[in-house]
Amino acid sequence: MNIFTVSNFKILSRKPSYINAFKNGTLRAVNLDLQEALSHCELCPRKCGVDRTNNELGICKTGLKAKVSSASPHFGEEPPLVGTRGSGTIFFTHCNLLCTFCQNYDISHEGYGREVDDSELADLMIRLQLLGCHNINLVTPSHVVPQILNSLEVAIEKGLQIPLVYNTSSFDNVDTLKYLDGIVDIYMPDLKFFDPKLAQKTCDAPNYPDVAREAILEMHRQVGNLKLDSGGIAQQGLLIRHLVMPGLLDDTRRIMKFIANEISPETFVNIMPQYRPCGNLDKVPELNRGLYQDEYDEAIRIAKEEGLFNFLN
């Protein structure tokens, strides 16, 4: 059963937030700050401190230029993003979280992709808009926020005018997210797990649960609950993804409780069943199996029990 219906959401018709940020000079000021921050990079929770302006590499293995693995209309995202013409996804190479079970291991760990300068990245955004995409969907953007916003300035001058989606693992610094206030229209964080020990084993990031909670609260503060246009296409707001993982239903309950109680019971949540063993699971053999149907069914029951009602299943 698909619980998502347009009637559950506020209807909104608006220009993307970044248009005003560009006109009033906020975007330019943010870009200047972020370019300076790259010289001693602590933009993500890893806080590597490397000088990326001189192409020193930290955990994300990304220097001054962003790398992109692909850019195309995507029809496998959530219905409010896909609509009839697709979500304009730009997949960035590398990652600051580096889950061992990543389903895009070749992109996040092995570096599949090519470097792009600001003008090239802006052109990708414009091309996706010309193809009719409903939004620009920035996939794994946390380590390339300065590069994205520099390119955004160029793209706006070339006529970009569709919503900007920040599609993230939730391993984001709140201080960096604050730079995006009034620029990003839609946040789509993946809230993975709340167990610090598992976060340590799978991502070498025992602070992931705390970081993710704080990051998502900041995202919601900026954009609020999901808002659609009259055609059911997302214009602004928060969409949360949760990939249900084998044997981790206790974490699923804690996550659903957090969303309902600390964010909003009206939050749009995509409870995803597509976990499969990928990447390198030598250190986490308990995740070396697929998800059972009864585990997914229980995850849906938990979400309802905790008071959520705007979700896909």
In a domain, 77, yes or no: yes
What tokens does 7 get? 């009637």
Of the ranges 9-18, 75-84, 163-172, 206-215, which one carries the lowest mean pLDDT score? 9-18
Nearest to 260 by CA among 310, 298, 214: 310
Start-to-end Cα distance in the chain: 6
Is 180 inside a domain boundary?
yes
Smallest CA-to-CA distance from 139 within 113, 110, 161 is with 113
Examine residue 123 and state whether it is found in any structural domain, yes or no.
yes
Q: What is the pLDDT of residues 217-264, one digit of tens each?
A: 999 999 999 999 999 999 999 999 999 999 999 999 999 999 999 999
Q: Is the pLDDT of residue 178 over 60?
A: yes
Helix, strand, coil percent values for the chain (each to nearest 5): 40, 15, 40
pLDDT band of residue 1 (cuts 50, 70, 90) is very low
Q: How confident is the model at residue 7 (pLDDT cuts 50, 70, 90)?
A: low
In a domain, 246, yes or no: yes
Is there a domain that residue 1 lies in? no
Cα separation, 188 vs 128, whole angstroms: 19
What value does the mean pLDDT take over residues 265-287?
93
Q: Are 91 and 71 in contact (CB under 8 A)?
A: yes
297 located within any domain: yes
Residues whose CB is less than 8 angstroms from the CB of residue 106 and which lie 6 or more positions away in sequence, other chains included: 112
138, 164 contact by CB (below 8 A): yes
Q: 186 has which bridge partners?
A: 165, 237
CB 199 within 8 A of CB 193: yes
As a whole number, mean pLDDT of residues 6-19 equals 74
Looking up residue 303, the CATH number of its domain turns out to be: 3.20.20.70
Domain count of the chain?
A: 1
The alpha carbon dihedral of 115, 119, 121, 124 has a sign of negative
Residue 271's domain spans which residues?
6-312
Grade residue 5 by pLDDT with cuts at 50, 70 and 90.
low
pLDDT at residue 80 above 90?
yes
3-state secondary structure of 91: strand
Largest CA distance in the chain: 52
Among 38-52, 72-86, 160-174, 275-289, name the one with the lowest average pLDDT: 275-289
Categorize the per-residue pLDDT at 305 as very low, low, confident or very high, splitting at 50, 70 and 90. very high
Within a domain: 204: yes
Q: Please, which pLDDT band fits residue 13 given cuts at 50, 70 and 90?
A: low
What are 192's two structure tokens? 């993975």
